[in-house]
Amino acid sequence: MLVIALCKGRFLAPSLDLLTEAGICFPEDIASSRKLIFNSEDHSFRAVLVKPADVPTYVEYGAADMGIAGRDVILESRADVLQPLDLKFGYCKIAVAGANGISEGAPPNTSRPTIRVATKYPRITMDYYNSRGIPVEIIPLSGSIELAPLIGLADRIVDLVETGRTLKDNGLEIVEVIAESSARLLINRAGYQTKRDEVLQLIQALEKVIR
């Protein structure tokens, strides 16, 4: 049996649709259940539901053979996993944003020597500013990131931008795109060797659906 870690939340429905089209069907209504473990009809797959940011951890440690997660959380986790497939949904950007009209080179609007950046991606943010030699203070938040510059908690944010509506409605705009993101298939490195046939079969089935 292959164990696949799926994200709770907005990735769940498209992930299940993709698996169903690839012939992996779960008899229970996963989306409305409070259970966390589900076996497929033919018992060849087990789906476990975890928080999006935890998917890479489950796969890296081998608690799950594979998983589906956004490139954003994979980059942030720095997990050592294989990523053989872009699953072609969940498209968004990881971007630096700030008040309308602000440029990346602009100094912070205070006497502070560093730019304060609010984000739920502290590692991606640190890497971005380090690579540009810009001193930065990271303010870690877990949601409603766009609020931070509006009430003086931060000068910039690093966050996901999908439609751009949240930025626009809050008078913010993209300063620079750091990376593009979409849903990816993650595979545990050891599992790729020990369960090679099953894993390759799944990759091929998913590739067919995506094409």
Query: Are the CB atoms for 117 and 154 separated by under 8 Å?
Result: yes
Residue 12 Cβ vs ligand PRP, minimum distance, rounded to whole Å: 13
Q: Does 72 bind ligand PRP (CB under 6 A)?
A: no
Confirm or reject binding of residue 51 to ligand PRP (CB under 6 A): no
Q: Shortest distance, CB of residue 54 to ligand PRP, whole angstroms? A: 15
Would you tell me how many other CB atoms lie within 10 Å of the CB of residue 211? 6
Q: Does 182 bind ligand PRP (CB under 6 A)?
A: no
Determine how many CB atoms are found less than 10 A away from the CB of residue 21.
Answer: 14
| Residue 166 or 201 with smaller CB distance to ligand PRP | 166
Determine the Cα–Cα distance for residues 6 and 16; give it in Å rounded to an integer: 9
Smallest CA-to-CA distance from 46 within 17, 70, 19, 81 is with 19
**Binding status of residue 160 toward ligand PRP by CB under 6 A:** yes
Cα–Cα distance for residue pair 3/205, rounded to 1 Å: 16
Instruction: Tell me the window of 20-28, 64-72, 161-169, 194-202 that interacts with ligand PRP (CB under 6 A).
Output: 161-169
Residues 6+ apart with CB under 8 A from 82: 186, 187, 188, 189, 192
Question: Least Å distance between CB 101 and ligand PRP?
Answer: 19
Q: What are phi and psi of 54, to 5 degrees?
A: -95, -10
Q: Does 163 bind ligand PRP (CB under 6 A)?
A: yes
Residue 140 CB, shortest distance to ligand PRP, in Å, is: 13
Tell the smallest beta-carbon distance from residue 93 to ligand PRP (Å): 9
**Total residues in contact with ligand PRP, by rule CB under 6 A:** 12
Phi, psi of 208 (to 5 degrees): -60, -45
- Which segment (38-46, 79-87, 164-172, 193-201) binds ligand PRP by CB under 6 A? 164-172
Is 129:175 a contact under the CB 8 Å cutoff? no
Cβ pair 188, 59 in contact under 8 A: yes
Nearer to ligand PRP, 12 or 160 (CB): 160
Query: Which parts of 116-155 interact with ligand PRP (CB under 6 A)?
Result: 143-146
Query: Minimal distance in Å, beta carbon 165 to ligand PRP?
Result: 4
Give residues in contact with ligand PRP (CB under 6 A).
143-146, 159-166
